[in-house]
Amino acid sequence: MCMINNCSNPNITSDNYCNIHKNFTMNDYYIICDYIKLKIEEINPIDNNIKLNKLLRLIKYILYRKDFLREHFKLLNAIIKKIEYFYDNILYTILYNKKTEDKLIDLYIKMNLILDDIKIENDF
């Protein structure tokens, strides 16, 4: 049975999520990678606020998978650079609004804190 309440589908992930809810997994990295690739294909190119907000949600999704980020260290660096790019360039586009800017800053700080934690762990 799936871990999601009121879902009786058979589980397919190691942490008991079904095919419909498999993107909630914390353990099955190939599913997480496939989900991230799918979402990136959906939002590229980021040329409107809807796609930008989808990118921000994707980053939040990734933030909750710290063990995944430890093993996919380069992805973390790429996301940080993408956030920097948007922050540097968003002020001059139609995508700018204060709420989005605040979200970018918040995610940038959180991603860098995770990066610092991973670097400290790797040094020991």
Q: Give the model's pLDDT for residue 106.
A: 92
HEC string of the chain equals CCCCCCCCCCECCCCCCECCCHHHCCCCHHHHHHHHHHHHHHHCCCCCHHHHHHHHHHHHHHHCCHHHHHHCHHHHHHHHHHHHHHHHHHCCCCCCCHHHHHHHHHHHHHHHHHHHHHHHHHHC
Q: Give the model's pLDDT for residue 66.
A: 87
Map out the domains of the chain as residue ranges. 1-44, 46-123
**What is the chain's pLDDT, residue by residue, as a tens digit (124 residues)?**
999 999 999 999 999 999 999 999 999 999 999 999 999 999 888 888 888 889 899 999 999 998 898 888 888 888 888 888 877 777 667 667 888 888 888 998 999 899 888 888 877 5
pTM of the complete model: 0.83
